[in-house]
Amino acid sequence: MKKLLLILLLSPLLLFAQSNVTLQVLGSGGPESGDKRASSGYIIWIDGKSKILIDFGGGASLRFEEAGARIQDLEVILLTHLHVDHTADLPALLKSSFFTRASGDLHVYGPDKNVFMPSTKSFVNRLFADGKGAWQYLGDHLDGRATLQLKAHNISKNLKAKVIYRKGDISIKAVSVHHGPIPAIAYRIEIGKKSITFSGDMNGDYHTLEKLAKYTNILVVHNAIPKGSKGVAAKLHMTPYTIGQIAKISGTKMLVLSHRMLRTLGKEKETKSEIRKYYKGNIKFADDKSRYKL
Ligand SMILES: [Zn+2]
């Protein structure tokens, strides 16, 4: 019996055991007040640890606490772009680390600059750097003095997905997406054989997401505009019709709709039937703290 147990323990199959992976939505809303939702934010739990954070807009910090996530377990923060509803709670997160044993390097990835927006490195410096940051009293997290160090990285505009991070069984790919004039990135996070892909805010014009999300387990898209939207809103965001096309072409197993706004809330039936014209898989409308196990 003992021998059998030992054989089982040493079985090479166990070396390939898959991690437990869960996607949790922190904020399922957009930038508006009145949607009763936190702004954009997601956490990926790997074997019970809050390892990867995607966006961190207003209110996401409270949801992070409520979800039981810990900054000392975070390895990477991925910013889809630098709009307020995707980044506003970062200072709160960094400050909260002071009261924990968080240490080592915390990597922050986001887009490079253009004429409208700073690069992610410059954004982090303007927030925290000693002598120039709005919260320069947290500058010790950039210059080596604090135990937890923020390491910011710029992702240059690239219409072909590239690997930006690899550690253990985690691999992260990034590609540019079209969000009007704002530099924006979609990410695919692979953990072993499982994957989650995040569109961020985008309107689909670059046709990069459908390739990035090929056969992904979960595709998280932003449901910021309803059927028939035109003008500025449609230059920034995907219509349900476009979401359906991308979900179908990518062959994603599950579609999670988030970044829900007053103009789309209450229109779930209409949105779903637009998406259904193309996509026959599982469709979920996210709420704050919704969890999806892979
Ligand atoms: Zn947004």
Record the pTM: 0.94
Q: Two tokens at 262? A: 């007053």
Q: pLDDT tens digit string along 208-262?
A: 999 999 999 999 999 999 999 999 999 999 999 999 999 999 999 999 999 999 9
Q: How far is the CA of 118 from the centre of ligand 1 (A)?
A: 17
Query: DSSP letters along 80-148, please?
Result: S---HHHHTTHHHHHHHGGGS---EEEEEEEEPP-SSS--HHHHHHHHH-TTT-TTGGGGGGTSS-SSE
- The answer to the question of residue 280 being in a domain is yes
CATH number assigned to the domain comprising residue 157: 3.60.15.10
- Tell which phi-psi region holds residue 7, choosing left (phi > 0), alpha (psi between -120 and 50) or beta: alpha
CA 105 from chain centre, in angstroms, equals 19
Q: How far is the CA of 108 from the centre of ligand 1 (A)?
A: 18
Q: How far is the CA of 171 from the centre of ligand 1 (A)?
A: 25
Share of the chain above pLDDT 90, in %: 94
Q: How far is the CA of 146 from the centre of ligand 1 (A)?
A: 31
Has residue 13 got a pLDDT over 90? no
- The answer to the question of residue 12 being in a domain is no
Q: How far is the CA of 293 from the centre of ligand 1 (A)?
A: 24
Query: DSSP letters along 136-183, please?
Result: GGGGGGTSS-SSEEEEEEEE---SS-EEEEEETTEEEEEEEEEETTEE
Domain coverage including residue 98: 20-287
Q: Which amino acid is at 224?
A: A
- How far is it, in rounded angstroms, from Cα 286 to Cα 243? 15
- The answer to the question of residue 199 being in a domain is yes
Nearest to 202 by CA among 180, 220, 187: 180
Structural domains counted in the chain: 1
- The answer to the question of residue 114 being in a domain is yes
- The answer to the question of residue 65 being in a domain is yes
Q: How far is the CA of 31 from the centre of ligand 1 (A)?
A: 6
